[in-house]
């Protein structure tokens, strides 16, 4: 019986996911890698965050999005799973917005974290 849990996400862009994890100071491996779980069980993932306890956090592409896969019994992060996902989704959204606005000729001129934890972005485009 597998101990792995899968948490569906809305993370669709790999580069934005990688950049978000980097900005949040997570070390990860890219490429098909085994996520280590209970009693040596493994599951393949496209992106893996190793944990010091020998149990990993992985992101598996399901054809539409990257879902989190882990043995949650051995979760060893400063935040709860829900807290981690909230923080990751927020940073991921920032990266997607920044990338897409840049493609349209805008740039982020101001980024501010508000008291409620949300981010406020100001983007601008200089007309010539």
Q: Is the pLDDT of residue 93 over 60?
A: yes
* Of 101, 99, 9, nearest in space to 47 by CA: 9
DSSP result, 40-87: G-EEEEEEEE--TTS--EEEEE-SS-EEEEE-GGG--SSS-HHHHHHH
The structure's pTM equals: 0.87
Q: Is the pLDDT of residue 1 over 60?
A: no
Q: Is the pLDDT of residue 8 over 70?
A: yes
C-alpha dist (Å) from residue 89 to 1, 3, 8: 30, 24, 12
What confidence tens digit (pLDDT) does each residue in 9-46 have?
Answer: 999 999 999 999 999 999 999 999 999 999 889 999 99
Neighbours of 102 (CB within 10 A): 13
């Amino acid at each position: 019986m597998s101990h792995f849990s899968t948490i569906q996400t809305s993370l669709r862009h790999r580069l934005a996911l990688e950049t978000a994890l980097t900005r949040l100071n997570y070390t990860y491996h890219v490429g098909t890698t085994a996520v280590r779980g209970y009693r040596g069980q493994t599951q393949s993932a496209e992106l893996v965050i190793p944990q010091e306890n020998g149990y990993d956090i992985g992101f598996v592409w399901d054809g539409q999005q990257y879902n989190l896969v882990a043995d949650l019994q051995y979760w060893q992060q400063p935040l709860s799973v829900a807290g981690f996902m909230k923080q990751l989704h927020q940073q991921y959204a920032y990266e997607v917005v920044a990338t897409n606005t840049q493609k349209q000729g805008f740039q982020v001129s101001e980024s501010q974290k508000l008291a409620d934890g949300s981010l406020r972005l100001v983007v601008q485009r200089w007309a010539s």
